[in-house]
Structure 1
Amino acid sequence: MLIRVDPLTGPEIAALLREHLQDMARHSPPESVHALDLDKLRQPDITFWSGWKEGDLAGCVALKQLDAGHGEIKSMRTAAAHLRSGVAAELMRHVLAQAGQRGYRRLSLETGSMPVFAPARALYARFGFVECAPFAGYVEDPYSVFMTRTL
């Protein structure tokens, strides 16, 4: 899979992120949706990558710098046509490597608590993430699970 920094201008990535936001809204009340839209992903403290297989958008992930030693995974999504094909694991390895290169000591994330998010939570656990308290301005929320790992 080719993973590259994405300028967030292509129609494929816009469609995948639109699907991502719609899916989050389907499973969580508005105040519990922490997924970012295109404009919010274009902030200078966020790097966004897309993953491509044979010219087809397979998935995406973003890394937000919280401080010099702490990053947050955002907008991790696998395109429907590529589910259960290793895309998420490859994107996770990439973002972990990038976080390490940046000198981060900790990487955290927020995901959903409902059963539909169980595969995502299992993936994060396989990569060493454990549940933690809310971080970076998040608050306790029955619809959220907060996870972190040291690097």
Structure 2
Amino acid sequence: MDIRIDPLTGPAIAALLQEHLDDMALHSPPESVHALDLERLRRPGITFWTAWEDGALLGCAALRALDAEHAELKSMRTARAHLRRGVAAALLRHVMEEARRRGFRRLSLETGSPAAFLPARALYTRFGFVLCGPFGNYGPDPYSVFMTRAL
């Protein structure tokens, strides 16, 4: 698996991110969908990675700096054809290592509270994330679960 910084310009990543946004909309009302589109992922302070194997896009993840010590995991997604193959775990390891390398001391995330997000929450728990309150610009939201971990 090759994990690399992605310029967010190819059709494969555009399609995967649209799939991500569409799935979020299935499980949460519009005001509770916090996933970023292509344009917002291109903003300064965000690094975006994709995972590839034999020319196939496996998944993606992003890291957004909140301040000098705190970063947020964004846009974690595994392509449907590659679920249950360790893609998300590899991407999460990669982002956590990069966050440490950049000097962040805390990594937080927002994910959904509906049952469809149980596999994601289980992954984050396996990697040491614990429940926390809203952070950054988030507010309380019954469709959101906030998690964090020290690096």
Give the aligned partner of residue 116 of structure 1.
Answer: 116
How far residue 137 of structure 1 moved from its aligned partner, in angstroms, is 1.4
* Distance in 2 (alpha carbons) for counterparts of 1:29 and 1:113: 12
Give the aligned partner of residue 25 of structure 2.
Answer: 25
Q: Which amino acid aligns with 2:4?
A: R
Give the aligned partner of residue 41 of structure 1.
Answer: 41
Structure 2 unmatched ranges of 5 or more: none
Q: Please state if 1:139 is matched with 2:139.
A: yes
Count matched residues: 151
Give the TM-score of the pair, scaled to structure 2.
0.99
**Identity score, percent:** 71
Q: Which amino acid aligns with 2:6?
A: D
Give the aligned partner of residue 149 of structure 2.
Answer: 149
How far residue 77 of structure 1 moved from its aligned partner, in angstroms, is 0.1
- Equivalent position SS for 1:49: strand
* Distance in 2 (alpha carbons) for counterparts of 1:58 and 1:107: 23
Moved beyond 4 Å, runs of 4+:
none
Superposed CA offset, 1:1-30 (max 9, x none): 100000000000000000000000111000
Q: Which amino acid aligns with 1:98?
A: E
- Equivalent position SS for 1:50: strand
- Equivalent position SS for 2:34: coil
Give the aligned partner of residue 83 of structure 1.
Answer: 83
Give the aligned partner of residue 125 of structure 1.
Answer: 125
Give the aligned partner of residue 62 of structure 1.
Answer: 62
